[in-house]
Amino acid sequence: MRSKITLKELAKILNVSVSTVSKSLNDSPEISPQTVKRVKELAQLHNYRPNPIAVNLKRSRTGNIAVIVPNISNTFFAKVLGGVENEARKQGFQVITYISNESLDHEQQITELISAGIVDGLLISVSEETQKLQDYEHLHLLMEYEIPVVLFDRINMDIGIDAVGVNDRGSIYEAVTFLHSQNLKKIALVCGLGEIGLGKQRIEGFTDACKDLGLSTDDKYILASKDIPEVKQKLNKLLVEDRVEAIIGLDYLSTLLASRVVQENNIRIPEDVKIIGYVNEDFASYLWPSISYVDQHPVEMGEQATAMLVKRIKEPSVKTPARVILNTEIRHLDSTRSK
């Protein structure tokens, strides 16, 4: 008997994506009949079979859904989980929460555990390592076992899976446009998000807005690194030597860092420098000065992602991936107040 083969190995032989193989095996209308035929023939040749234990267990509901978050240091995910819990209770489901700690290996271990049929579906914000390596086979395997998956927040990848997120590019484009409307020309970007896709989307929003508005696109105004001491050093230089007029922080840590560095240089907020960032609404107003922030509607994101997942659980015959993009809003506090 031939040895078992994985989705990834099938995809490599056929020179297609894992997503294409998974969709073909599920007769997705997105895939051409010729490709479906090729995939199924090769799968049969190599004795490919979904996990029989998981498939059998999925014939009855557990009443549970799983959520995987990449970390718990960011209060944004706590808000999302609150939305998940709200909607899950309404729908009659219990929530089991896991933390991947930004690790692909941890993510794979969790999905292997839940593939035994202990949940009816999975909500996941994929880890930084998963996005960096672009390895999503463990998610496609769950769907092969008839366990639906919905991505949330970190959704900037085309892997044929339901997703709920925000317009990350548009969020920053709007922030730059607002600052430009205040007659500010020197705008800097601070980002500590590393390799994850939404960081890249936000940077693209910044550079696109600067080009469209005739602002400088010099690399020195984009401080994107996970090396915080390096970012701090470069930001100090921009504030003192270039006298930047506004700063956009692309994540929680970068926003707090920007506020601190500005004040360490005895530069006034908002009189000399305006700041827009990503801080939790519960904390933004308690900072001094209070920091204007991009509201990503995390509770609504959790609720919509859960509603989407429950619909998949109840209507498994629907094959076409769904995608919901929430519009963000800038909440203006002290740091963008008029001079």
pLDDT for 298-335, tens place per residue? Answer: 999 999 999 999 999 988 877 788 999 999 999 999 99
- Where in the sequence is the domain holding 209, given as residue range(s)? 168-296+331-336
Domain membership of residue 2 (yes or no) is: no
Q: What is the DSSP letter of 307?
A: H
Q: Does 228 share its domain with 259?
A: yes
* 146 and 173 fall within a common domain: no
Q: What is d(CA 30, CA 52) in angstroms, rounded to the nearest whole number?
A: 26
Co-location of 205 and 259 in the same domain = yes
Question: Is the residue at 55 inside a domain?
Answer: no
Do 274 and 307 lie in one domain? The reply is no
Please report where in the chains the tokens 């693209």 appear, as a residue: 204
- Dist CA 21 CA 128 (whole Å): 24
Do 320 and 233 lie in one domain? The reply is no
Look at residue 194 and give its three-state secondary structure.
Answer: coil
Same domain as 254, residue 309: no
Residue 51 — very low, low, confident or very high, per pLDDT cuts 50/70/90?
Answer: low
Shared-domain flag, residues 229 and 137: no
Let me know whether 151 and 206 are in one domain: no
- Nearest Cα to Cα of residue 269 among 236, 284, 250, 247: 247
Instruction: Quote the CA–CA distance of 40 and 328 in Å, as a whole number.
Output: 42
29 domain residue, yes or no: yes
In a domain, 181, yes or no: yes
Q: Based on the domain organization, do 271 and 126 belong to the same domain?
A: no
Query: Tell me: the pLDDT tens digits for 155-212?
Result: 988 888 999 999 999 999 999 999 999 999 999 999 887 656 678 889 999 999 999 9
Same domain, 180 and 278: yes
In a domain, 134, yes or no: yes
| pTM, entire model | 0.81
Model confidence at 88, pLDDT cuts 50, 70, 90, reads very high
Number of domains in the chain: 3
pLDDT band at 3 (very low <50, low <70, confident <90, very high): very low
pLDDT, average across residues 41-58: 67
> Beta-carbon neighbour count of residue 133 at 10 Å?
11
Residues 91 and 234 in one domain: no
> Tell me: the pLDDT tens digits for 254-297?
999 999 999 999 999 999 999 999 988 888 888 889 999 999 99
Whether residue 1 is predicted with pLDDT greater than 50 in this model: the reply is: no
In terms of phi and psi (left: phi > 0; alpha: psi -120 to 50; beta: otherwise), the region of 105 is alpha
Residue 1 lies in a domain: no
| CATH code for the domain in which residue 131 is found | 3.40.50.2300
Helical ranges in 240-336 per DSSP H: 252-264, 281-284, 298-314
pLDDT value for 49: 67
If asked whether residues 178 and 278 sit together in one domain, one would say yes
How many Å apart are CA 95 and CA 124, to the nearest integer? 12
